[in-house]
């Protein structure tokens, strides 16, 4: 019996909603119960954005995640807002490229990953969400990364197949970062 | 179309739109308002693909009157809105009921009163379930709690509307409208069409006039019309739907609908893990309200109910009416667009049971 309650937060344009959708689709491909909800306050481009994803082997009760077991924060305001919300024993992925401060919780696993810098190395900062998602999956293998890539074709369209190798690399770089962080 | 009916990931609002199309609805008149705007947006894209009509009216009042017109012409038609916009449609709904015209009306509720906010809420229960518009009327009101159920109930709503020549309401909330979940859609059905409706306005060449109006100036005539409507509403009372979850041996039963019920289910499961005998009773049809089933639970020995809503307490009055003082009914609600957490509801369960069991 498992229930992953995932919250992904950042600023608009960082692909946090997309990362959440890919995760949900990947879970769906694997036959799990999934849900995805965007935070839909009076948001605007460049403002904060987040989404809730639940992946479980049983019927999902609440689709809105307020106390995530797994959390990705892509920027400093998100770290400040959501670090305290993570369930004890949970995982927090921090994009250190855009967070000046460090996470301070000791009762959770903190995975520091320079997602934006790594993405730029890979050719575009647009891959940052995939690096961070890879880090999350490295710390907790919720779904297979190949399913995330399959989801990408479903969500973005088959004509985006040429971007798959770069995204696979981004996910892998994130996973490696997580492994060294978790074992550190 | 030969493709299998596989699970697809769809947002609640869009799923509702697709379900309407598959139920044979080819006319949609609406006006944008958050958190239901994905529904008209979806219809604007999808209707032309199925030779349907999507029209964004100049206001909600205009939209609901276009619905009345299309319904009178005998076609399946829908409109949707969110709380403040749904308020504006009440006149048209009352007129449709007075004129005995079928349609599906959707309210994806947000925080109120007034403009309120755009977060999910359940403060419009009274409005849809008890009337909203003027005059003595009843309307079947369905409350889905998952995206799949939203699809199933939307298809059903069109059948029920035609069956009773009466509008049918779907009462959802912002969270359900925004949630994306895997769903299975039914096959596309044809609109039975105006030729199956002997009252439809199809052009009277070669036959007598058909008149639709809710105006009847003679008191005797209007009372006669009301008696006829009431007799119809009486028959509609049979369309009760509910779900009883872990109620068989429950000492305390949580009563909730829609999103609140979904959260309450998690609280009930958590309470069971603590060894507390708690169940969930979830009305699916809010009108007709499943009073007899609730009353039956009291007959079986249940003495405590906890009604949970995303409102200051509206459905709780129907629960009280159903148990008629034979059981204690507690209430827990959040307002302003706040969705209660499973933990909050569990705390309430423990509070209510603590006072009795220990």
Q: Does any CB of chain A come closer than 8 Å to the CB of residue B138?
A: no
Are residues B265 and A25, on separate chains, in Cβ contact within 8 Å? no
B358 pLDDT tier (thresholds 50, 70, 90): very low
Judging contacts by C-beta atoms under 8 Å, the chain A residues touching residue B265 are 59, 61
According to the model, what pLDDT value does residue B2 have? 32
The domain segmentation of chain B, as residue ranges, is 8-236, 242-357
A184 pLDDT tier (thresholds 50, 70, 90): low
Question: Does pLDDT of B185 surpass 70?
Answer: yes
Decide: residue B193, CB within 10 A, 0-12 exposed, 13-18 middle, 19+ buried.
middle
Distance CA A120, CA A128 (A): 8
Of B118, B182, B342, which has the smallest distance from its Cβ to A40's Cβ? B118
What would the CATH number be for the domain defined by B242-357? 3.40.50.920
Question: Does pLDDT of A44 surpass 80?
Answer: no
Are residues A37 and B265, on separate chains, in Cβ contact within 8 Å? no
Its ipTM equals 0.91
Q: Which of A61-70, A86-95, B283-292 has the lowest mean pLDDT?
A: A61-70
Laid out side by side, the sheet with B53-56 consists of: B53-56, B27-30, B77-81, B103-109, B167-173, B140-142, B285-287
Question: Does pLDDT of B306 surpass 90?
Answer: yes
According to the model, what pLDDT value does residue A42 have? 65
DSSP per-residue codes, A128-182: HHHHHHHHHHHHS--S-HHHHHHHHHHHH-GGGGGGHHHHHHHHHHHHHHHHHHH
A46 pLDDT tier (thresholds 50, 70, 90): low
Chain A: residue nearest B119 by CA? A41
Are residues A38 and B263, on separate chains, in Cβ contact within 8 Å? no
Arithmetic mean of pLDDT, A52-74? 94
According to the model, what pLDDT value does residue A45 have? 64
Q: Does any CB of chain A come closer than 8 Å to the CB of residue B145?
A: no
Render pLDDT for A159-178 as a digit per residue (tens, 0 to 9): 889 999 999 999 999 999 99
**What end-to-end distance do the CA atoms of chain A give, in Å?**
29
Are residues B35 and A21, on separate chains, in Cβ contact within 8 Å? no
Which residues are bridge partners to B56 per DSSP? B30
Q: Which helix (H) or strand (E) holds B344?
A: helix B342-357
Render pLDDT for B200-215 as a digit per residue (tens, 0 to 9): 999 999 999 999 999 9
Decide: residue B115, CB within 10 A, 0-12 exposed, 13-18 middle, 19+ buried.
exposed
B167 pLDDT tier (thresholds 50, 70, 90): very high
Render pLDDT for A113-149 as a digit per residue (tens, 0 to 9): 999 999 999 999 999 999 999 999 999 999 999 999 9
Which fold does the domain A3-183 belong to in CATH?
Pyruvate-ferredoxin Oxidoreductase; domain 3 (3.40.920)
Render pLDDT for B72-111 as a digit per residue (tens, 0 to 9): 999 999 999 999 999 999 999 999 999 999 999 999 999 9
For B:321-340, CB contacts with A below 8 A are 339
Laid out side by side, the sheet with A109-113 consists of: A109-113, A91-95, A70-73, A3-11, A48-56, A33-38, B180-183, B8-11
DSSP character at residue B196: G
Average pLDDT across chain B, whole number: 95
Q: Which helix (H) or strand (E) holds A16?
A: helix A16-29
Of B174, B178, B265, which has the smallest distance from its Cβ to A61's Cβ? B265
Q: Which residue of A7, A38, A40 to mutate against B (max B Cβ within 10 Å)?
A: A40
DSSP H helical segments within B237-325, as ranges? 258-273, 291-299, 315-323
Judging contacts by C-beta atoms under 8 Å, the chain B residues touching residue A62 are 262-263, 266, 339, 341-342
- pTM (two decimals): 0.94
Q: How many CB atoms lie within 10 A of CB B355?
A: 11
Q: Does any CB of chain B come closer than 8 Å to the CB of residue A124?
A: no
**Strand residues in chain A grouped as ranges (E):** 3-11, 33-38, 48-56, 70-73, 91-95, 109-113
According to the model, what pLDDT value does residue A157 have? 87
According to the model, what pLDDT value does residue B357 have? 46
According to the model, what pLDDT value does residue A4 have? 97
Distance CA B68, CA B103 (A): 8
Arithmetic mean of pLDDT, B281-309? 98
**Residues contacting residue A100 through CB under 8 Å, at least 6 positions apart:** A76
Q: Which of A2-11, A34-43, B17-26, B155-164 has the lowest mean pLDDT?
A: A34-43
As a whole-number percent, the residues of chain B with pLDDT over 70 amount to 97
B8-236: which CATH number, 3.40.50.970, 1.10.340.30, 1.20.120.520, 3.50.50.60? 3.40.50.970
Question: Does pLDDT of A40 surpass 80?
Answer: no
According to the model, what pLDDT value does residue A183 have? 57
Chain B: residue nearest A39 by CA? B178
DSSP character at residue B255: E
A61 pLDDT tier (thresholds 50, 70, 90): confident
Tokens read off for B219: 């008191």
Question: Does pLDDT of B15 surpass 60?
Answer: yes
B242-357 matches B8-236 in CATH topology: yes
Q: How many CB atoms lie within 10 A of CB B148?
A: 19
According to the model, what pLDDT value does residue B4 have? 41
On whether the CB atoms of residues A73 and A96 are closer than 8 A, the answer is no
Decide: residue B264, CB within 10 A, 0-12 exposed, 13-18 middle, 19+ buried.
buried
Angstrom distances, CA of residue B347 to CA of A66, B89, B257, B267: 16, 39, 19, 9
Render pLDDT for B230-272 as a digit per residue (tens, 0 to 9): 999 999 999 999 999 999 999 999 999 999 999 999 999 999 9
Arithmetic mean of pLDDT, B3-31? 89
Question: Does pLDDT of B190 surpass 80?
Answer: yes
Arithmetic mean of pLDDT, A31-35? 96
B355 pLDDT tier (thresholds 50, 70, 90): low
Q: Does any CB of chain A come closer than 8 Å to the CB of residue B115?
A: no
């Amino acid at each position: 019996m498992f229930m992953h309650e995932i919250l992904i937060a950042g600023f608009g344009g960082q692909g946090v909603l997309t990362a959440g959708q890919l995760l949900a689709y990947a879970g769906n491909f694997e036959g799990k119960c999934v849900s995805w909800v965007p935070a839909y306050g009076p948001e605007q481009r460049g403002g904060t954005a987040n989404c809730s994803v639940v992946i479980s082997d049983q019927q999902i009760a609440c689709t809105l995640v307020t106390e995530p077991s797994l959390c990705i924060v892509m920027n400093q305001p998100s770290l400040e807002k959501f670090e305290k919300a993570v369930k004890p024993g949970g995982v927090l992925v921090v994009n250190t490229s855009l967070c000046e401060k460090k996470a301070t919780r000791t009762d959770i696993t903190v995975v520091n990953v320079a997602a934006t810098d790594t993405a730029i190395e890979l050719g575009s900062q647009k891959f940052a969400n995939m690096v961070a998602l890879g880090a999350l999956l490295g710390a907790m293998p919720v779904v297979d990364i190949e399913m995330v890539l399959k989801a990408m074709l479903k969500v973005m369209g088959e004509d985006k197949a040429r971007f798959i190798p770069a995204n696979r690399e981004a996910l892998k770089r994130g996973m490696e970062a997580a492994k060294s962080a978790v074992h550190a | 179309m030969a493709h299998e009916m596989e699970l697809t990931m769809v947002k609640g609002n869009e799923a509702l739109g697709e379900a309407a199309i598959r139920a044979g609805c080819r006319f949609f008149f609406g006006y944008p308002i958050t958190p239901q705007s994905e529904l008209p947006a979806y219809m604007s894209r999808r209707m032309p693909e199925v030779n349907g009509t999507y029209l964004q009216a100049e206001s909600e009042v205009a939209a609901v009157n276009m619905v009345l017109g299309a319904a009178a012409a005998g076609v399946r038609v829908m409109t949707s809105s969110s709380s403040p916009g749904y308020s504006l449609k009440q006149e048209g709904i009352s007129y449709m009921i007075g004129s005995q015209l079928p349609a599906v009306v959707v309210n994806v509720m947000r925080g109120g009163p007034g403009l309120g906010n755009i977060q999910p809420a359940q403060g419009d229960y009274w409005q849809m379930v008890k009337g909203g518009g003027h005059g003595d009327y009843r309307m079947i009101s369905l409350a889905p709690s998952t995206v799949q159920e939203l699809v199933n109930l939307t298809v059903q709503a069109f059948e029920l509307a035609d069956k009773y020549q009466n509008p049918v309401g779907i009462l959802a909330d912002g969270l359900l409208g925004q949630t994306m979940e895997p769903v299975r859609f039914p096959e596309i059905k044809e609109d039975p069409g105006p030729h199956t409706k002997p009252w439809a306005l199809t052009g009277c060449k070669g036959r007598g006039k058909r008149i639709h109006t809710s105006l009847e100036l003679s008191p005797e005539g209007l009372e006669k019309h009301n008696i006829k409507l009431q007799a119809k509403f009486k028959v509609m009372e049979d369309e009760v739907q509910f779900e009883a979850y872990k109620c068989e041996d429950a000492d305390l039963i949580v009563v909730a609908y829609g999103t609140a019920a979904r959260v309450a289910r998690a609280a009930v499961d958590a309470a069971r893990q603590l060894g507390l005998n708690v169940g969930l009773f979830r009305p699916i049809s809010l009108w007709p309200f499943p009073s007899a089933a609730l009353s039956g639970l009291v007959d079986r020995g249940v003495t405590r109910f906890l009604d949970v809503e995303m409102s200051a307490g509206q459905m709780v009055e129907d629960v009280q009416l159903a148990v008629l003082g034979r059981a204690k009914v507690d209430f827990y609600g959040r307002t302003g667009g706040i969705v209660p957490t499973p933990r909050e509801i569990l705390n309430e369960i423990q509070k209510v049971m603590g006072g009795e069991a220990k």
